């Protein structure tokens, strides 16, 4: 399981999204440098639900390495939902008050999308290798 690079990609994507559960989305800085208000991702219920769904999908893709097609589809689905989350954060960013300062964690979903898609590509290449080996075995077996 851990010898494949797509497992590392899926673990990194899961870690990034899981880190968002415990981090700040944005802050409102005060005149003395202290934060007047902190906005967390988990404070807004739809964000919390999306984050939990994405983490569960990534964990499912991480643990179903024996079923490559299912793993690839789960990784792609996680990437699509994560992309929707990133779009929602971008809309919040562009419609937010100018005093609100977004944290670096606001770009974690796009990085997780990249990792999920790289993992799906690696899984697809594994599927192709397994099919080609199976094709060679059956061709050799039929020749006898």
CA geometry: angle at 64 spanning 62 and 65, to 5°? 85
Radius of gyration of the chain (CA): 20
Percent of the chain at pLDDT exceeding 90: 69
Chain-wide mean pLDDT for the chain?
90
Is 0.85 surpassed by the pTM of this model? yes
- Indicate the domain borders of the chain: 5-143
Encoded tokens for 106? 């606001």
- For 56-92, what is each residue's pLDDT tens digit? 999 999 999 889 999 999 999 999 999 999 999 999 9
pLDDT at 138: 73
Angle at which helices 108-143 and 68-95 pack, to 10 degrees? 160
pLDDT at 79: 97
| Interatomic CA distance for residues 58 and 77, integer angstroms | 9
pLDDT at 2: 59
Q: Which residues contact 81 (CB under 8 A, 6 or more apart)?
A: 50, 53, 54, 57
Low-confidence winner among 27-31, 92-96, 105-109 (lowest mean pLDDT): 27-31
pLDDT at 86: 96
Tallying the residues shown for the chain, one arrives at 144
Percent of the chain at pLDDT exceeding 70: 93
Q: Does 1 have pLDDT greater than 60?
A: no
Q: Does 33 have pLDDT greater than 80?
A: no
Q: Greatest CA separation found in the chain?
A: 83
**Burial state string for 88-116 with b = 16 or more CB within 10 A and e = fewer than 16:** ebeebeeeeeeeeebbebbebbbebbebb
- For 11-25, what is each residue's pLDDT tens digit? 999 999 999 999 999
Q: Where are the alpha helices (DSSP H) in the chain?
A: 5-20, 45-63, 68-95, 108-143
């Amino acid at each position: 399981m851990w010898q494949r690079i797509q497992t590392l990609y899926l673990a990194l994507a899961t870690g990034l999204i899981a880190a968002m559960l415990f981090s700040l989305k944005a802050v409102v800085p005060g005149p003395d440098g202290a934060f007047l208000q902190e906005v967390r991702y988990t404070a807004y219920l739809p964000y919390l639900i999306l984050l939990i769904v994405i983490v569960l999908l990534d964990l499912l893709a991480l643990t179903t390495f024996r079923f490559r097609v299912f793993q690839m589809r789960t990784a792609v689905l996680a990437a699509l939902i994560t992309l929707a989350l990133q779009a929602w954060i971008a809309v919040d960013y562009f419609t937010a008050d100018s005093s609100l300062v977004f944290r670096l964690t606001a770009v974690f979903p796009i990085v997780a999308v990249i990792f999920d898609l790289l993992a799906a590509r690696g899984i697809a290449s594994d599927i192709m290798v397994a099919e080609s080996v199976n094709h060679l075995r059956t061709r050799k077996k039929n020749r006898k």
